[in-house]
Structure 1
Amino acid sequence: MTDTAAPAWPRAVLFDLDGTLIDSLPDIHAALNETLASLGEPPFTPEAVARMVGGGVEVLIRRAFEALDKEIDPASAGKIAERYLAIYSARSTELTTLNAGASLTVRELQARGVRLGVVTNKPEAETHAVLSHFGLDGLMDVVVGGDAGPRKKPEPDLLILACTRLGMEPGEALFVGDSENDVEAALAAAMPVVAVRGGYSRVPVDAMGAGHVIDRLDQIGEAIDALMPAR
């Protein structure tokens, strides 16, 4: 990725956040366990929480209570989600780290003239806070959080909204994610998608149906080269 001219494709690369750009599981795990402890519930292991991540905060809460074999109504889930967010927001970058190659990849893509964005089910304020902490927020041309209004991933709406804000068609962009929600959303939006190993998926990465699979974010260049003939 050394050419400084803006490429014909992709015009933009959009990233998922949790499990893709960042390893946020330690802070999510700690915040969820603190929330559950305040309700008199037992803690979960990091491995268990990893299987709950990906659908947004209320889905995280519902999955936690399912794992506790307890029913929870939508109103209660919403209130507990608010409690969790208050705890998580105060510590969202305490243990969170950038995934390997994230900063270099983002900066190389920007240098090539590729527009950049983040599309995540995490609320937008928390997303900006994390990106800002790692010096990436100012590099993003668009940030779409799970509270933007449209349906969350695995529905395609958030990705389509990001492309609308960028003034391009979904097929002109590439999405990079780590979970089945990411791949399903991109495919539904008719957007090429690359899956990164090592995230928080509940489905084996090679079984998701992504156009290309990589081990690290700094392999994006080879993924683009592999997908280019189909463009």
Structure 2
Amino acid sequence: MSTLPKIAVFDLDGTLAETAGDLIGTLNVLLLREGLPELPLADARDLIGAGAKALIRRGFEAAGKALTPERHEALFADFLEHYGAHLCDRSHLYPGVVEALDRLEAEGFRLAVCTNKVELHAVDLLDKLGIGGRFAAICGRATFPYSKPDPRHITLTIAKAGGDPARAVMVGDSRADIDAAKAAGIPVVAVTFGYTDTPVDRLGPDRVIGHFTELADAVAELVPPRA
């Protein structure tokens, strides 16, 4: 029997924190530099979820401009530079996050983050939001050779955090989170307030919650105490 602790793995953007203002704000800086119109935040939220490169590609497509691979790479570098200086201008934790983490830790869970965000930015943002030190591992897009929806992004995060993969749960907001967890054989809780162009209840998660006050009970149903 494994002596490793049970573990809860969280996505970041749209799950732990509302980050659309800073992400889309940076995208709009790039669009304006290219002579293109800004995208309204309400319309662009669902472009988030697959990392900065995908956000740039989707954003420019939405603005009516295709990018060459070379221009895409240059804009990616510009995005990282600007976003790194502005990643917590408007971003904030969702209500109830701190209390939910408190309860999970009190119930013996180790905590980790598995995000398609660049690891450096993920660590910096979580530190600025005041919760970075709570996670045994914060794994980003280039931490491993794999990223969500590849299930190895989650399983390697669990291993890095020292958690028990047989008593793990994923918490996320997107198809990438849900598909990666299901492929890894790990139950997944989906939040309804994140970034997705398809309602999460249609994507096959094990549980759906609309507020972090519901998380601990949902997790308890999926990861029962050791017999």
Calculate the TM-score normalised by the size of structure 2. 0.92
For the residue of structure 2 that corresponds to 1:90, the secondary structure is helix
| 8 Å CA contact retained: 2:18, 2:94 | yes
Say if 1:113 and 1:228 are closer, same or farther in 2 by CA, change over 3 A.
closer
Say if 1:133 and 1:68 are closer, same or farther in 2 by CA, change over 3 A.
same
Q: How far off its partner does 1:163 sit?
A: 1.5
Q: How far apart, in 2, do the equivalents of 1:187 and 1:91 lie?
A: 34
Q: How far apart, in 2, do the equivalents of 1:220 and 1:117 lie?
A: 15
Say if 1:110 and 1:228 are closer, same or farther in 2 by CA, change over 3 A.
closer
For the residue of structure 1 that corresponds to 2:169, the secondary structure is strand
1:125 paired residue number: 120
2:107 paired residue number: 112
Q: How far apart, in 1, do the equivalents of 2:42 and 2:183 lie?
A: 29
1:180 paired residue number: 175
Aligned pair partner of 1:60 in 52, 55, 72? 55
1:101 paired residue number: 96
Q: How far apart, in 1, do the equivalents of 2:164 and 2:186 lie?
A: 9
Ranges in structure 1 where 5+ consecutive residues have no aligned partner: 1-7
Q: How far off its partner does 1:160 sit?
A: 1.4
For the residue of structure 1 that corresponds to 2:47, the secondary structure is coil
Ranges in structure 2 where 5+ consecutive residues have no aligned partner: none
Say if 1:60 and 1:202 are closer, same or farther in 2 by CA, change over 3 A.
same
Aligned pair partner of 1:144 in 135, 139, 142? 139
Aligned pair partner of 2:77 in 75, 82, 94? 82
**Higher alpha-carbon deviation: 44-53 or 92-101:** 44-53
Q: How far apart, in 1, do the equivalents of 2:53 and 2:84 lie?
A: 15
Say if 1:9 and 1:171 are closer, same or farther in 2 by CA, change over 3 A.
same
Q: How far apart, in 1, do the equivalents of 2:79 and 2:211 lie?
A: 30
Paired amino acid for 1:25: A
What per-residue deviation string (whole Å, max 9, x for no partner) do you get for residues 141-184 of structure 1? 01100121322211212101112213445332100001111101
Q: How far apart, in 2, do the equivalents of 1:11 and 1:162 lie?
A: 13
Q: How far off its partner does 1:73 sit?
A: 2.3
Q: How far apart, in 1, do the equivalents of 2:199 and 2:39 lie?
A: 22
**Higher alpha-carbon deviation: 39-48 or 88-97:** 39-48
**Higher alpha-carbon deviation: 116-125 or 153-162:** 153-162
Calculate the TM-score normalised by the size of structure 1. 0.90
Asked if 1:12 corresponds to 2:7, the answer is: yes
Q: How far apart, in 2, do the equivalents of 1:125 and 1:227 lie?
A: 31
| 8 Å CA contact retained: 2:169, 2:189 | yes
Paired amino acid for 1:135: G
Paired amino acid for 1:34: V
**Higher alpha-carbon deviation: 217-226 or 120-129:** 217-226
Say if 1:10 and 1:54 are closer, same or farther in 2 by CA, change over 3 A.
farther
